[in-house]
Amino acid sequence: MSPSMIVFIFLKLFMVEIQSSFGDISHSMVAFVQYSECSAFQTPPVNTGEYQVRTKTGCARICSKDSACVAYSVSGALCRTHDEMFQTGECYSGGWKHYTIRKRCTNDGNKCKCYGGYVGDDCERLMIDCSEGVASGHYDGEEGLFFIHPTLSTEPFRVWCRMSWGGNTYIQRHTNSTDFNRSWQDYRDGFGDPAQDFWLGNDKISYIVNGRLHRLQFDLSDVTSSFRQRIYTQFQIDSGNKYSFSYASSWGSANSINNAGDCLGELQGQPFSTYDADHDDSPQNCAQEHHSGFWFKACTSCNPNGVWSETPDGKRSGIPEEMFWTPYIGSNLLSGCEMFVTAE
């Protein structure tokens, strides 16, 4: 066999493989991106149809002709088409090969409806925070877990978002007996369940609030009111200085029954403390005393990460480790706290 014939056969086989993976390029079929499999099985998005095909190229052709299809899966001769794209950071397995269409949204003038934290005309990237999700127009009123990728972070991570009121990225929730008396590393990396009680992690919080201006809001619950709140503008965390924090101004509700009062004013510039990393100004270990991690000084008039408790009369028992927020709330028992940031 001549060298030219060998080269011809090689190129022909190469093109067959390319067509098998991405579709027939000569017919301008849209390109698909394969998502790798992993051991942890998670079901694919809801499928819009099942078909028998000879190759994955045939499945790609079916998806390309359906304006609702943005992804497909192949297992042997079985083809499934989907109206939702596969997400970065998720695991998909179960003997299927999964593909997401690239640049689907602008085909034939279709407008994308992104999900899971993706934004852009083609849902081509993750939002930097929940506020961008609201501003993108893809999310309106939803609340739940979404992926974000702040500009300062090397990788995406999941957060609890409320896609209203400007888009709220939650960094803490403490509404039951979850133990918040954790180590420096736990508070640095985050712990708990973002769908329930959790601390997002000081590294992650700093990535969010240092990438652009955010305000921090505390929503607090006690026995006398559905909620009390306090807001701190231009909130930032210095990750290179033991997570010390700063803010520009603070305000609360004009209605005193909903105003929690200022608890961070006296702590401005303080580094973060935990029982194994004492950075407060007190001769005692405030984090150890209050059984929580927080910004302490000598020690503090608020302990939103303290021990959650109940009393018959709804009043504080007076022990230093319980949850409390003294301004305005006084001796009333603090029954819950949520912290979130919103882009300014």
Q: Report residue 10's pLDDT band, with 50, 70 and 90 as the boundaries.
A: very low
What is the model's pLDDT at position 44?
65
Q: Is the pLDDT of residue 339 over 60?
A: yes
Count CA atoms closer than 13 A to 293's CA, side-chain side: 29
pLDDT (mean) for 120-148? 90
Q: Which fold has domain 118-343?
A: Gamma Fibrinogen; Chain A, domain 1 (3.90.215)
Q: Is the pLDDT of residue 228 over 80?
A: yes
At residue 266, what are phi and psi to the nearest 5 degrees? -75, -10
268 CB neighbour count, 10 Å cutoff: 14
pTM over 0.75, yes/no: no
Q: Which fold has domain 3-109?
A: Hepatocyte Growth Factor (3.50.4)
pLDDT digits (tens, 9 = 90+) for 14-54: 343 333 333 332 233 445 666 555 544 456 666 788 999 98
What is the model's pLDDT at position 255?
87
Q: Is the pLDDT of residue 248 over 80?
A: yes
pLDDT digits (tens, 9 = 90+) for 79-126: 989 877 776 656 666 678 888 776 555 444 556 677 788 888 767 788
DSSP structural state of residue 315? B
Q: Report residue 342's pLDDT band, with 50, 70 and 90 as the boundaries.
A: very high
Q: Where are the domains of the chain?
A: 3-109, 118-343
In the chain, how long is the greatest CA-to-CA distance? 95
Mean pLDDT of the chain: 84
CA distance 21 to 27: 14
Tell me which of 105-114, 144-153, 216-225 is least confident. 105-114
Tell me which of 18-22, 66-70, 254-258 is least confident. 18-22
What is the model's pLDDT at position 257?
86
What is the model's pLDDT at position 99?
82
Higher pLDDT residue, 134 or 2? 134
**Residue 342 and residue 168 in contact, taking contact as beta carbons nearer than 8 Å:** yes
Helix (H, G, I), strand (E, B) or coil at 22: helix
**Residue 2 and residue 8 in contact, taking contact as beta carbons nearer than 8 Å:** no
**Residue 208 and residue 150 in contact, taking contact as beta carbons nearer than 8 Å:** yes
CA distance 268 to 246: 6
